[in-house]
């Protein structure tokens, strides 16, 4: 009789390597590993051998970098979604796509369960599981770190020893390093000195994608990004895929110390956590898109869109990508992007993004109106009547309060 299958979200690291024999020992499943490439830059060579050596029967390596860029990053850029005004949602955007691919592989393999290595304290368990529940409510979800009766490992040393006992001798070390998550959009850092908000980050030891502003070149770099209907289509005049634009902006932004953010954020599970995020390309791209919208969107739409952006960021952060609410918010965002076409020019200099000019065929900026020189479209005298009407409620209230005060004397 064939064993039931479980799909394991596999990175090749120590945690997911230890999970393979643990699943076989505690569930008697056939373990199929799935490594999903969202641009994390990890070396994928040798992963199949490692997975099979650890007891898996098969490894899928799924390259979804372009899908990540086009279907997950772009909607968040168009929305202007930033969680708690700082976090550009790098990990949050990737998790629903990873959940979707895990479900696809589970269906292909006829699996009965999906397993992930997220801890019981983090956001990722929520994101993975909400995605899986939305797409495949029939599949069982296994989270080893929440299985207190069977998952006895509390440290890297415990995991290494567990692997050794099961005949898995791989070059893992027990060194205490930052906990990182990397993809095309960003890299996050947690742990070590970052666990104490009173400590400054050790940027010389921590940074991966770039340098601190102090160590950036003394000479800035100018870039231009072109958009069509809110989608980035060209960098410095060269037509490129979105994923290619982000990759090139990561190099430029990292070199000039762009996009380093130190955050204490409110996790979905209720606790506060401190981390440092490097999002060089994403920070530039979001700023360019914002600059273009300043020219194109009318005051009322731009104001409403800022409210939607905050709600959209919360929804994505909480792992609610595959929900009617996210789709409805997205529909509003898409409608605002119809005319967000043009070019934003910027200078990158020691952690700063400095405007160098923004143009669009749909710009609502009218020099004849905005200029201090009186033009045909604006008569200064018209402002008097406008102010009288705009301030009428204030005047009426002030008159009433004066009357009440007089009667009380």
Q: Is 107 a catalytic residue?
A: no
Look at residues 41, 98, 93, 89 and name the one whose alpha carbon lies nearest to residue 64: 98
- Give SS3 for 385: helix
Residue 363 is classified by DSSP as -
Write out the E strands in 108-237: 113-115, 140-142, 179-182, 187-190, 221-228, 231-235
Q: Taking a C-beta distance cutoff of 8 angstroms, is the pair 242, 74 a contact?
A: yes
Secondary structure tally for the chain: helices H, strands E: 15, 14
Q: Taking a C-beta distance cutoff of 8 angstroms, is the pair 236, 175 a contact?
A: no
**Catalytic residue (one of 50, 54, 124, 360):** 124
**Catalytic residue (one of 50, 54, 92, 95):** 95
Q: Is 50 a catalytic residue?
A: no
Tell me how far apart the alpha carbons of residues 238 and 40 are, in angstroms, rounded to a whole number: 25
- Which residues make beta-bridge pairs with 224? 345
- The torsion defined by the Cα of 257, 262, 265 and 269, in degrees rounded to 10, comes to 90
Look at residues 114, 117, 109, 121 and name the one whose alpha carbon lies nearest to residue 135: 114
**Catalytic residue (one of 155, 179, 303, 368):** 179
Look at residues 372, 371, 343, 340 and name the one whose alpha carbon lies nearest to residue 357: 343
- For 300, list phi and psi in degrees, rounded to 5: -65, -45
Q: Is 95 a catalytic residue?
A: yes
b/e string for 275-305 if b means 16 or more Cβ within 10 A?
bbbbbbbbbbbbbbbebbbbbbbeeeeeeeb
What is the per-residue DSSP string for 168-196? -----------EEEE-SS-EEEESGGGGS
Q: Report the relative pairing of strands 238-239 and 231-235 from DSSP bridges.
A: antiparallel
Q: Is 299 a catalytic residue?
A: no
Residue 71 is classified by DSSP as I
- Give SS3 for 134: helix
The catalytic residue positions are 15, 95, 124, 179
């Amino acid at each position: 009789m064939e064993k039931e299958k479980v799909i394991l979200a596999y990175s090749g690291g120590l945690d997911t390597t230890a999970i393979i024999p643990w699943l076989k020992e505690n569930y008697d499943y056939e373990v199929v590993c799935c490594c999903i490439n969202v641009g994390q830059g990890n070396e994928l060579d040798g992963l199949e051998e490692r997975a099979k050596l650890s007891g898996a029967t098969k490894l899928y390596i799924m390259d979804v970098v372009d899908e990540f860029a086009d279907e997950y990053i772009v909607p968040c850029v168009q929305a202007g979604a930033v969680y708690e005004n700082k976090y550009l949602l790098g990990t949050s955007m990737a998790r629903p796509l990873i959940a979707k691919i895990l479900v696809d592989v589970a269906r292909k393999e006829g699996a009965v369960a999906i397993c992930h290595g997220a801890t019981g304290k983090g956001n990722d368990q929520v994101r993975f599981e909400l995605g899986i529940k939305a797409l495949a409510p029939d599949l069982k979800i296994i989270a080893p770190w929440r299985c207190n009766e069977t998952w006895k490992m509390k440290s890297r040393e415990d995991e290494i020893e567990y692997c050794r006992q099961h005949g898995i001798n791989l070059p893992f070390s027990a060194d205490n390093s930052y906990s990182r998550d990397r993809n095309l959009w960003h890299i996050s850092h947690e742990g070590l000195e970052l666990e104490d908000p009173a400590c400054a980050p050790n940027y010389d030891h921590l940074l991966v994608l770039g340098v601190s502003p102090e160590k950036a070149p003394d000479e800035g770099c100018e870039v231009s990004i072109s958009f069509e209907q809110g989608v980035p289509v060209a960098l410095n005049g060269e037509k490129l895929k979105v994923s290619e634009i982000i990759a090139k902006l990561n190099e430029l932004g990292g070199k000039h110390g762009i996009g380093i953010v130190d955050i204490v954020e409110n996790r979905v599970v209720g606790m506060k956590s401190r981390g440092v995020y490097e999002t060089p390309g994403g920070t530039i791209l979001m700023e360019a898109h914002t600059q273009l919208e300043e020219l194109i969107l009318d005051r009322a739409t731009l104001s409403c869109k800022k409210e939607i952006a905050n709600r959209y960021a919360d929804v994505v952060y909480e792992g609610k990508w595959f929900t009617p609410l996210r789709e409805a918010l997205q529909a509003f965002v898409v409608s605002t992007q119809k005319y967000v076409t043009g070019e934003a020019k910027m200078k990158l200099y020691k952690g700063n993004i400095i405007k160098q000019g923004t143009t669009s065929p749909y710009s609502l900026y009218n020099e004849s109106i905005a200029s201090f020189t009186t033009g045909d479209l604006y008569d200064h005298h018209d402002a008097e009547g406008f102010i009288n009407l705009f301030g009428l409620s204030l005047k009426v209230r002030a008159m009433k309060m004066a009357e009440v005060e007089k009667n009380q004397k």
